[in-house]
Amino acid sequence: MRYAETGYNLEIDLSRGNIERVETDPKLTELHLGGLGTNAKILWDRVPPETEPFSPDNLLIFATGLLVGTPAVGCNRTIVSTFSPQTLLMAYSMMGGFWAPELKYAGYDKVIFRGKSPNLVYLWINNDKVEIRDASHLQGKGADETAELIRQELKEPNAQVAAIGLAGENRVYMASIEQGRSSASRLGIGAVMGDKGLKAIAVRGTKDINIARPAEYMELCNDVLKYIQVRSEKPVPGVMPILAGLGSPAEMKLVDEEWHTQNFMWGNARERKKDYWNKEIEEKWKETQENVRTRLISCYNCPMKCGALISVPGISTYMMKCFSKLTYTMAAFSDLDFGFRIAQRATEYGVDAFSTPQVMAFGLELYEAGILTDQDMAGMPSDNEGRFYWLLDRIARREGIGDILANGTYWAAQQIGKGAEAYAHNNIKKHEQLPLKLGMLNPVYFLMYSTGEKINITQIEGQFPQAPFPTMEEREDFVKDWIHVPDEKFKQYLLDWELRGERSNPYYPTVDMSVDIVDWQEKMHYIDDALGMCAGLSSFPLKPPYHIHNYPAFISSATGIDMDEAGLTQVYKRNRTLLRAINVRRGLRRADEKPPEDHWKKRFPELEAQLLDAYYKFKGWDNQGIPTKESLHELGLDYVSEDFEQRGIIKNEQG
Ligand code: SF4
């Protein structure tokens, strides 16, 4: 009997139209848990590093995490893994919503696609019955519209559907996979889905999942619910509102946007408006938001209500959550009403709400600088909002200049030349980042940002505060009930952290402390991504219900695997290192791990080099970020070092 997981994957060969149900190896669950961990193992084993993202040999994996579909609150993530057309590295975007639990209830842990379908198709998983169906009538349809049409066609209103829009069909590098109640947006995974000729996956499942020790497990789940209740009544004082509570930032509840509008950058991450927010704007934005927000909604089995249904008169209802509320507004120097309107069209096209607005603003900045000409922009309206709609349409259709912009700022700048590279100034690993430009380098944030491989907003966040508390009283108050720390030393790190003076950024936390903090934060992210847990209840906010001390009990009682903190740490290290190895094999090196030049005004090259050196050493990697033979051996990854040796990666680069 398999517990927590189903023990079966679906293997779909889209070239041949072949469908197989394959039993998985329980040993791999012990080594990697599931979700991201086992996805990485499959990609390592089956996709050689020479494989192009748009090759039929690239795999596209839709995975559930190990605890998805069990009563663990907030455990509902789908982890989509493939190789990104944007970074050429491994992508593992995630979505919440309802899709992953439904797949588990249908009896599968993952759906693994290979090959390419000659015609547009969709997959219909109805418990044991799985079929590839024609989707030619859905060509060009919006992502949400496609989901609705499929549910009607199947006469199955409860089917969960993950679909791409026109952007995915056209292999736009910012294409997302939409699911009605969430989306997996980063790194162009929707483009890989479109390249495979796969419009959607619909799933309906009605089976049960086995739990090894159900009574014990339910008790743990109830403790989490109680803790959420307590934390919801007690926001963390002294931090900005979106970080004071739990969940993905409560953007759909909040109307006070002073912090985002004055600290995040407008345009193509270029201009900060320090005095933007005032009473008049606050009133206007509040009215806009309350008029269009039909109701707040949650993902499967979660009380947090991070998302909202948005109904703008004249256009169909869609779901929005988090910072995408502001990305289009701020890129276009417009207002919230515009943001809510254009986001609906962008959702139907299926594009990433972080990158796409930056790319459009980048196009306009190139035009204003004379790098793009009237000829390039022929037919573009003269009004600001009209230009954004026009650019969005061109990008999704890959028409004219949109065909170049559809490749994201990094690749578009290379294609355009004429100095366009200077305008693509917000990338790490060839991908647009958070539209932030800050003053003083923060060492923990520097490491999280530069070395993170998820390339997602959460990559800079963790269970350690991002800034010091101004007074000792606040610090002492914070550490009092800080049960999450893996070691008591973290409390002292925080108590000693000052806003100014010797014990302040960039030299405090010290290099070694920064590495410790980053390791803790990364550990939580990697465990979440293997379990399918929402980061909003674990690795993202301060004082969340899940942490390193209660996770082993969750895993043990759900799966029957004997797991303690040391064992879980070893699994995290293995997954982290394997992911690094996959990207090393595809060429990732130290030179790629640098934040945008202008991300901080004050930079410290020597300190930054020391931080990277110490981080790599702590991980057991050499100074290029390549895992060493010894550390690979210690993690049971000798097959990686053998491969590295054959390819000359270890022999040549580690002497
Ligand atoms: S915390 Fe928010 S984003 Fe996370 S599962 Fe709950 S509702 Fe979804």
Report the largest interatomic distance among the alpha carbons of the chain, rounded to a whole angstrom: 68
Q: What is the pLDDT of residue 146?
A: 98
pLDDT digits (tens, 9 = 90+) for 612-650: 999 999 999 999 999 999 999 999 999 999 999 999 998
654 pLDDT above the threshold of 70: no
Across the strands, what pairs with 361?
none
Give the integer Cα–Cα distance in Å for 198 and 615: 40
As a whole-number percent, the residues of the chain with pLDDT over 90 amount to 93
CB 5 within 8 Å of CB 34: yes
Tokens 């010797």 sit at which residue? 502
pLDDT digits (tens, 9 = 90+) for 331-376: 999 999 999 999 999 999 999 999 999 999 999 999 999 999 999 9
Number of neighbours of residue 451 by Cβ within 10 angstroms = 23
Give, as one character, the DSSP assignment of residue 544.
-
Give the integer Cα–Cα distance in Å for 160 and 266: 36
240 pLDDT above the threshold of 90: no
- Rounded mean pLDDT, 27-44: 98
460 pLDDT above the threshold of 90: no
Q: What is the position in ligand 1's atom list of the atom closest to the CA of 307?
A: 7
Distance 512 CA to ligand 1 centre (A): 33
| CA neighbor of 209 nearest in space, from 102, 135, 299 | 102
Instruction: Give nearest CA residue, ligand 1 atom 5.
Output: 74
Q: Where on the phi/psi map is residue 400: left (φ > 0), alpha (ψ -120 to 50), or beta?
A: left
pLDDT digits (tens, 9 = 90+) for 575-604: 999 999 999 999 999 999 999 999 999 999
Q: Which two tokens stand for residue 273?
A: 């408006």
Number of neighbours of residue 188 by Cβ within 10 angstroms = 34
Number of neighbours of residue 284 by Cβ within 10 angstroms = 14
Per-chain mean pLDDT for the chain: 96
Across the strands, what pairs with 432?
427
Q: What is the position in ligand 1's atom list of the atom closest to the CA of 306?
A: 2
- Rounded mean pLDDT, 549-578: 98
Give the integer Cα–Cα distance in Å for 279 and 287: 12
Q: How confident is the model at residue 459 (pLDDT cuts 50, 70, 90)?
A: confident
Assign 3-class secondary structure to 190-201: HHHHHHCCEEEE
* All residues at 6 or more sequence positions from 209 whose CB lies less than 8 Å from its CB, including other chains: 4, 6, 69, 70, 104, 105
Give the integer Cα–Cα distance in Å for 230 and 481: 12
pLDDT digits (tens, 9 = 90+) for 470-493: 999 999 999 999 999 999 999 999
Residue from 75, 79, 224, 299 whose mutation best tests the ligand 1 pocket (most atoms within 8 A of CB): 299
415 to 132, 254, 397: CA distances (angstroms):
37, 40, 18
Q: What is the pLDDT of residue 323?
A: 85
CB 493 within 8 Å of CB 513: yes
Q: What is the position in ligand 1's atom list of the atom closest to the CA of 96?
A: 8
Distance 107 CA to ligand 1 centre (A): 24
441 pLDDT above the threshold of 60: yes
Q: What is the pLDDT of residue 653?
A: 58
- Ligand 1: list residues with CB < 6 Å: 74, 76, 96, 247-248, 298-299, 302, 304, 306, 534, 536-537
Give the integer Cα–Cα distance in Å for 319 and 180: 6
pLDDT digits (tens, 9 = 90+) for 44-69: 999 999 999 999 999 999 999 999 99
Number of neighbours of residue 223 by Cβ within 10 angstroms = 13
| CA neighbor of 28 nearest in space, from 643, 521, 578, 524 | 578
| CA neighbor of 450 nearest in space, from 549, 591, 652 | 591
